[in-house]
Amino acid sequence: MAPMGIRLSPLGIAVFCLLGVGVVYHLYAGVLSSRIASFRQKRTVDLRDLLALSMEAAVQGGREVKRIREDNTLEEKTKGKTKEGASEKLTLGDLNSHRKMFYLIKNTYPYIQVNSEEHANAEGEATVWTRIIPEEILGKVSGVKEVPAERITVWIDPLDATQEYTENLQKYVTTMVCVAVDGDPVIGVIHKPFTGYTAWGFVGEGSNVAPRASYNTNVPKVIVSRSHSGKVKSFVQVAFGNNTEIIPAGGAGYKVLALLDPTDEEQETADIYIHVTYIKKWDICAGDAILRSLGGQMTTLKGEKIDYSGTEGNKGGLLASIKTDHKALVKRLPPWEESKQ
């Protein structure tokens, strides 16, 4: 007998069960959707944690870069041409470093945007961050710095100065991570795989590097890309005179560090960093963040801030300086049109 003396046919029982399942489903779906919505609303990232993670990613990528160079297993290829017509190199060091760096960050924060110079087709690394924050960060960055995840863009360069890497010019090679919030560079990490040194800066919080005591902007030493030093030479001489010392170098990370107090004997020093052609944001974002954390500036050649959201390229050239009148430097530059580059 059914409860309350009601007898149900098999069809009635089936209908009753379906109605019950439907009610339970809708109740469950409502609870689940509200929880998902709540989770999405609360997805925040602690920038202090993200700085520590960025340092670990750069170091892990750097280990791969160093190991493959020392084993001489580069498997060098050409992935295309730069806008200046030079061959764009690709090595196993680039790819292995990318896997280590990209997946360490994505496995920790799967919901933040991560842009990398390389794209690995192989399965991802199962690496997980230990969540250990180095003492040097704890000592300089006070407390939790939470930001909604959707405001964050991470730029990684798994191997800066690949051309120099293939030539075994180790001093130019770096791995880099940059964290931008609303398009502004906030955290920058530049790691030197062959010395083990890691430079970092967190805008508004601190840095482990420092500017030099003084800079000469009357007759400055200008560091430029060795791949097109001839093109930039006339531009620099018009701005600062024929006696200006021009230092050709590889790697945007290395060039930014040249503006700071040197961290090793091989690091050259310069007063200004200039780039006159198209450059990718993963090449320059980390250096921009470190300079900003120290009161320096990196802008286009027209003095405009660089937006690190959206597309990967910066078409406006680059001028970087620290402890100088940056606007005065911009005014000394000759006319420049990006359409000609």
For residues 189 and 299, the answer to whether their CB atoms sit within 8 Å is no
Beta-strand relationship, 152-160 and 113-116: parallel
- Amino acid letter for position 231: K
Residues making up the chain, counted from first to last? 341
Annotated binding-site residue numbers for Mg(2+)? 117, 157, 159-160, 283
Annotated binding-site residue numbers? 117, 157, 159-160, 283
**With helix as H, strand as E and coil as C, how does the chain read?**
CCHHHCCCCHHHHHHHHHHHHHHHHHHHHHHHHHHHHHHHHCCEEEHHHHHHHHHHHHHHHHHHHHHHHHHCCCCCEEEEECCCCCEEEECHHHHHHHHHHHHHHHHHCCCCEEEECCCCCCCCCCCCCCCCCCHHHHHHCCCCCEEEHHHEEEEEEEEECHHHHHCCCHHHCEEEEEEEECCEEEEEEEEECCCCEEEEEECCCEECCCECCCCCCCCCEEEEEHHHHHHHHHHHHHHHCCCCEEEEECCHHHHHHCCECCCCCCCCCCCEEEECCCEEHHHHHHHHHHHHHCCCEEECCCCCECCCCCCCEECCCEEEECCCCHHHHHHHCCCCCHHHC
